[in-house]
Structure 1
Amino acid sequence: MRGAVVVTGGGKGIGATIARRFAEAGHPVLIFDRDEAAAVSCAGDIRSHGGVASTFVGSVTSEEDVAQAMQLAVERYAQLAVLVNNAGISCNRPTLELELDEWRRTLDVNLTGVFLCAREFARRVSAGDTESVILNLCSMYGVVAAPNRLGYCATKSGVAMMTKSLAVEWAELNIRVNAIAPGYIRTALLEELIADGRVDAEALLGRTPQKRFGTVEEVADLAFFLASPETRFMTGQIVGLDGGWTANGYL
């Protein structure tokens, strides 16, 4: 059996698709999510297709929960191979209306959660011949700025710098650390926002050179590639997956 993969926020959306991608390749997967029903559903789907999956219900903002989740993965599957820091929340609000509690919550989930998970994962892998990989889900808004998203942009840019810093520090532990910076991905949430009129799909597509949204499968395929031996000389990189959005300086 291959080394275990821990996916935070793995119950649905991008996280669930990433979990399924690794499971299809023979990795046991631990789905770490606050939403018990979503986590159980995703794990059940993986098992129904012949994969190995288990769940841990908890929050990435809790030091105790994170430690317990990583320890469970070690006890159940022995070897940790990959951590996918996918859990995150949006914070779309004009800054003058942004409340301190919402700001702190965004920092806790998007930034502190990544730190806690990365630290506890690294504490449980052995330095040596066996390589381990941490993949952080950043965002194109961690690379370029956007109005009315201060909390989101600030935390995702923090994730980008954390990725680089940990990559340098943990190279000697044989841990590679990279990040994916997606643009607008066609998830159930995006579809809901479009249907409710809260997102202007036509405007977003008009701003994207490829004139389409990304797919969750494309994110999962990139995650799998970045964790593979083919990229073993690659660490500390923020890899964009945005249809050309951040390259497009022309409006």
Structure 2
Amino acid sequence: MDQEGNWLALSGRVCVVTGAGSGIGAATARHLAAVGAAVAVIDRHGEAAAAVAAEIVQSGGSAISITADVSDPEALAHAAATVLQALGPCQVLVNNAGVLRGEALLSLSLADWNQVLSVNLTGALLCTQVFAAQMIEAKLAGSIVHVGSITGHHPLPGSGAYGVSKAGLGMLSRMLSLELAPHGIRSNAVSPGLVRTPLTEHSYQDPAVAQARQAMVPAARMGLPADLASAIAFLASDRAGYITGQDLLVDGGLGQGLLRKIPSAPTPAV
């Protein structure tokens, strides 16, 4: 284990990461395993989850893979039982699974609206119910980290139900922070800004669009899944033991840059 692993003190803890077959979820699973955690890699795409878990094991880490759709209560009940049997009770849950259906709200179909909410919001609730129950039953202090989005803070026209679901996820996290506090369980969120993942890669295929997006970010670069993984690992650890109910924007300063877009004239001499 490296110095970061010692600092985070996550060694041996059972961590469950949903949507961990790619992108931010996969990066988070790898990061948690690298600092000594035992990781359950959950994804509805079983082959992708298995590949990430196998990579972790080959690197000397501890991981299992589980195929499950977070919007399916029966699948989650099975996943929770598998984690308990194979690794022990969950101590860290990362609610990362998400889907995106971009369209104007007035033309958005009910099916697409329901699908996004069922995965991004209801799925997070269902996962919390089954895995927080393990923490409570085992009388273990725990941490839940929900992966939101900057679109939950700033509306993005044409993003359909996505931003709505992420705004709801932020409130879900805050409510859970109060309800779970008596059990020693913390609930926080991280909200990525512009991050290149398989879910968003279509937005970067046009070099001009990619360059324009990067120019908007004060940090002068696009976010990487590893940037989010580091923030999630911190919130999951005891180093963040007095932090709960918060939503951390991990966006390279993008959310702070609104006023710099306003045209300005030279300041007159006084």
TM-score interval for Structure 1 and Structure 2 normalised by the shorter chain: over 0.9
Q: CA offsets per residue over residues 26-70 of structure 1, 9 Å max, x none?
A: 111111111111011101100000111111111000011111111
Question: Is 1:207 aligned to 2:216, yes or no?
Answer: yes
Query: Relative to structure 1, is the Cα distance of residues 129 and 71 closer, same or farther in structure 2, using a 3 angstrom cutoff?
Result: closer
What is the CA RMSD across the aligned residues, in angstroms? 1.7
CA distance in 2, matches of 1:35, 1:130: 30
CA distance in 1, matches of 2:194, 2:158: 16
SS of the counterpart of 1:80?
coil
The match for 1:107 is 117
Identity fraction in percent: 34
Taking the aligned partners of 1:161 and 1:183, their CA distance within structure 2 comes to 18
Any stretches of 5+ residues in structure 2 without a counterpart?
A: 1-10, 262-270
Which residue matches 2:13?
3
Query: For the structure 1 residues 59 and 189, does the alpha-carbon distance in structure 2 shift closer, same or farther, using more than 3 Å as the test?
Result: closer
Secondary structure in structure 2 of the residue aligned to 1:133 = strand
Counterpart AA for 1:76: A
Q: State how far apart, in whole Å, the 2-side matches of 1:125 and 1:153 are.
A: 30
Q: Deviations over 1:74-130 (max 9, x none)?
A: 111123110000000112112232111001101101110000001111111136873
1:129-175 CA-partner distances (Å, limit 9, x unpaired): 73111000000111111111230111000000000000011000111
Q: How does 1:102-251 map to 2 (within 5 A)?
A: 102-126=112-136, 130-195=140-205, 197=206, 200-250=209-259, 251=261
- Give, in angstroms, the shift of residue 224 of structure 1: 0.7
CA distance in 1, matches of 2:198, 2:166: 21
Matched position secondary structure for 2:256: coil
Worse-superposed segment, 109-118 or 68-77? 68-77
- The match for 1:18 among 28, 47, 56 is 28
Unaligned runs of 5+ in 1: none
SS in 1 for 2:243: coil
TM-score (norm 2): 0.88
Following TM superposition, by how much is the alpha carbon of 1:207 offset from its aligned partner in structure 2, in angstroms?
2.0
Structure-2 residue corresponding to 1:69: 79
Match for residue 102 of structure 2 among 81, 88, 92? 92
Letter in 2 for 1:35: H
Change (3 A) 1:58 1:128: closer
Kept in 1: contact 2:228–2:250 (CA 8 A)? yes
Q: Given that residues 128 and 173 in structure 1 are in contact (C-alpha distance below 8 angstroms), is that contact kept between their aligned partners in structure 2? A: no
Aligned residues: 250
Q: Which is higher, the Rg of structure 1 or of structure 2? A: 2
Q: Distance in 2 between matches of 1:101 and 1:146?
A: 20
Worse-matched range after superposition: 241-250 or 46-55 = 241-250
Q: Which letter does structure 2 place at the counterpart of 1:243? A: G
> 1:199 Cα shift?
8.4
Query: TM-score if structure 1 supplies the norm length?
Result: 0.94
In 2, Cα distance between equivalents of 1:105 and 1:128: 33
Matched AA of 1:7: V
Quick one: which of 46, 54, 57 aligns to 2:56?
Answer: 46
The amino acid across from 1:178 in the alignment is N
